[in-house]
């Protein structure tokens, strides 16, 4: 429920024969909508001819039945839902991005964030590249196009450019008769693939998108893997991979609870986090309340471990988009519309309030105010992630240190600022318990950065369209 934003969700499909892939992409992007709500797009290749449509807005706002019909049939398809951490929110920055290349036309969709986008862009500009967007995805696209001139295949070009890319990137790349899926050597962001009953190969950021299509899950794409789908079959290539560093916040917050990441249930991971919180930070209270949506699983885990009954404390309006992803000026109004307190369950009671995170503290402060206004006696907050003390450079909009409440204030100060009776966070070792030995990135929680950090801002500037 906190004010955190994440980069994107990607989708790809490769069909053994010409098929109606646009409706598949639409359904998959709806399932991935939680990963980005600022823009979306779909691109198809039919016999080498590309068609595409993209715009700002939600999937059901950008696409309707007539738009999907106009996209036509195809053998290859990619799709994207976007929240921008690099590049402004406008139509030109929405994805997929397409280019006509002397070797072959290409389209790309990207989830993640490069830490060296600006120096790479400068280098390409000095070589004559002209950029039309402020997105780091265009940097990746131009690098692939550059290496394609010297490579026999698209996958070899992608393999050649990967050593230049620092940071997080999951890619789906479409050529006239080929789909290529790529995951960075650390595996910061999730990517998996499966197959429909009709034999269509599917790539998606999360397994919930496969479920939405009735597709069977095959496996996660490995860190450093390039997976190629073509008429010749499926081929896997690798670049040297580092220790797996999937973002721990994917399990804590970003991913849908019904997804499986790296073979682990997101729902069960959140239950374990709540149970660990109950062991480490018990509270004398009457009920446990979870903040929808990602706080609920941890609250259930806390309730079961502690023996304190779980109570529904909030009803969520499902027709209001996620507040963490809305523009700043809309957040206060949307929070009021989005959450309503179930007064009989909590009035006059001591509650354990479970949420996934506290970033700047603004949303928590407003939630506590709602609870105090209806007569909650005590609020003991437990957070199913450690304190955010560092910015993230890998596609999570965790702000600079001066805006992070846990970087600026100690626990007692935060408790007072948020008007809480007590406050406790999941300790860093609690993530290891939650993920049962999985390797993960916890740089934003003080766990150390896996890659070099930027020496200058990573935001790419573009002219303002008015």
Active site residues: 8
Question: 């290539």: which residue's tokens?
Answer: 237
**CA neighbor of 395 nearest in space, from 249, 252, 291:** 249
- Report residue 294 as tokens: 């990602």
Tokens 């940097």 appear where? Answer: 139
Distance CA 346, CA 244 (A): 42
CB-CB contact of 31 with 200 (8 Å): no
Residue 38 three-state SS: coil
Contact 224, 237 (CB under 8 A): no
Strand partners, 76: 14, 45
- Cβ atoms of 9 and 81 within 8 Å: the answer is yes
Tokens standing for residue 153? 């295949």
> Which token pair is 49?
């001819």
Residue 13, SS3? strand
State how far the Cα of 384 lies from the Cα of 364, in Å rounded to an integer.
14
Please say whether the beta carbons of 454 and 390 come within 8 A.
no
Instruction: List C-alpha distances in Å: 197 to 200, 217, 234.
Output: 7, 11, 17
Q: DSSP labels for 79-129?
A: EEEE--SSS-SSGGG-S-EEE--SS--EEEEEEEEETTHHHHHHHHHHTT-
**Measuring CA to CA, which residue among 382, 328, 329, 326 is closest to residue 356?**
382
| C-alpha distances in Å from residue 268, one per residue of 198, 202, 258, 326 | 31, 25, 9, 28
Scan for tokens 């650390």, then name that residue: 186
3-state secondary structure of 378: strand
Within a 10 A sphere around the Cβ of 85, how many other Cβ atoms?
Answer: 22
Give the integer Cα–Cα distance in Å for 400 and 389: 9
Query: Within 10 Å of residue 232's Cβ, how many Cβ atoms?
Result: 9
């Amino acid at each position: 429920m906190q004010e955190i934003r994440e980069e994107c969700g990607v989708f790809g499909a490769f069909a053994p024969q010409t098929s109606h892939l646009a409706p598949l992409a639409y359904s998959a992007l709806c399932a991935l909508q939680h990963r980005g709500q600022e823009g979306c797009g779909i691109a198809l290749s039919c016999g080498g001819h590309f068609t595409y449509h993209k715009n700002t807005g939600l999937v059901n706002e950008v696409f309707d039945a007539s738009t999907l019909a106009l996209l036509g049939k195809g053998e290859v398809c990619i799709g994207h839902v976007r929240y921008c951490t690099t590049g402004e929110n406008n139509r030109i920055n929405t994805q997929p991005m397409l280019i006509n290349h002397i070797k072959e036309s290409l389209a790309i969709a990207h989830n993640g964030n490069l830490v060296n986008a600006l120096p790479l862009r400068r280098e390409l500009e000095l070589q004559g590249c002209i950029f039309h967007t402020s997105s780091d995805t265009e940097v990746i696209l131009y690098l692939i196009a550059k290496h394609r001139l010297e490579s026999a295949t698209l996958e070899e070009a992608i393999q050649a450019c990967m050593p230049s890319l620092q940071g997080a990137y999951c890619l789906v790349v479409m050529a006239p008769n080929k789909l290529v899926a790529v995951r960075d050597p650390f595996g910061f962001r999730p990517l998996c693939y499966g197959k429909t009953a009709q034999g269509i190969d599917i790539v998606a950021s999360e397994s919930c998108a496969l479920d939405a299509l009735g597709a069977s899950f095959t496996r996660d794409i490995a860190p450093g893997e390039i997976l190629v789908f073509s008429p010749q079959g499926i081929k896997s290539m690798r670049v040297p991979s580092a220790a797996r560093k999937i973002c721990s916040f994917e399990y804590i917050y970003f991913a849908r609870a019904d997804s499986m990441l790296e073979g682990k249930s997101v729902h069960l991971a959140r239950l374990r986090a709540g149970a660990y919180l109950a062991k480490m930070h018990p509270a004398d209270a009457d009920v446990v309340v979870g903040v929808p949506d990602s706080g609920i699983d941890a609250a259930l885990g806390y309730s079961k471990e502690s023996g304190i009954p779980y109570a529904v404390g909030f009803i969520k309006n499902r027709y209001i988009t996620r507040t963490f992803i809305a523009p700043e000026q809309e957040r206060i109004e949307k929070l009021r519309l989005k959450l309503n307190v179930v007064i009989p369950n909590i009035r006059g009671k001591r509650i354990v309030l479970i949420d996934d995170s506290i970033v700047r503290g603004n949303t928590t402060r407003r939630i506590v105010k709602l609870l105090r206004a209806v007569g909650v006696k005590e609020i003991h907050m437990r957070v199913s992630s450690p304190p955010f003390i560092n910015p993230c450079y890998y596609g999570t909009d965790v702000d600079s240190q001066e805006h992070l409440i846990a970087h600026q204030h100690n626990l007692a100060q935060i408790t007072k600022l948020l008007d809480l009776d007590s406050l406790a966070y999941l300790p860093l070792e609690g993530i290891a318990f939650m993920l049962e030995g999985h390797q993960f990135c916890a740089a934003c929680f003080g766990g150390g950065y896996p890659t070099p950090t930027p020496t200058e801002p990573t935001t790419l500037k573009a002219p303002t369209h008015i």
